[in-house]
Amino acid sequence: MIDVKITEELLSAASCTEGLTDGACGGLAVFIGAVRSETKGKKVLRLEYECYPSMALKEMKKIAEAAIQACGAKQMRIHHRTGILYPGDIAVVVVAGSPHREAAFEACRYAIDTLKKTVPIWKKEVFEDGEEWISAHA
Partner 1 sequence: MNTTILAFGIVRELFNGASKKMELPEGATVAALKNRLESDYPEIKKLRSYMVAVNNEYADDSLVFRAQDEIAVIPPVSGG
Contacts with a copy of itself, residue ranges (CB under 8 A):
12-18, 21-38, 87-90, 99, 101, 104-105, 108-109, 112
Based on CB atoms, which residue is closest to a copy of itself, 56 or 96? 96
Based on CB atoms, which residue is closest to a copy of itself, 55 or 116? 116
C-alpha 111/C-alpha 71 separation (Å) is 10
Based on CB atoms, which residue is closest to a copy of itself, 21 or 69? 21
Q: Are 1 and 75 in contact (CB under 8 A)?
A: yes
Quickly count: other Cβ atoms within 10 Å of residue 113's Cβ: 13
Based on CB atoms, which residue is closest to a copy of itself, 19 or 53? 19
- Partners of residue 10 on adjacent β-strands: none
Contacts with partner 1, residue ranges (CB under 8 A):
33, 49-52, 54-56, 58, 80, 91-92, 112, 115-124, 133-138
Whole-number minimum distance, CB 50 to partner 1, in Å? 6
Q: What is the DSSP string of 66-127?
A: HHHHHH--SEEEEEEE-EEE-TT-EEEEEEEEESSHHHHHHHHHHHHHHHHHHS-EEEEEEE
119 interface partner picked from partner 1, a copy of itself, none, CB below 5 to 8 A per type? partner 1
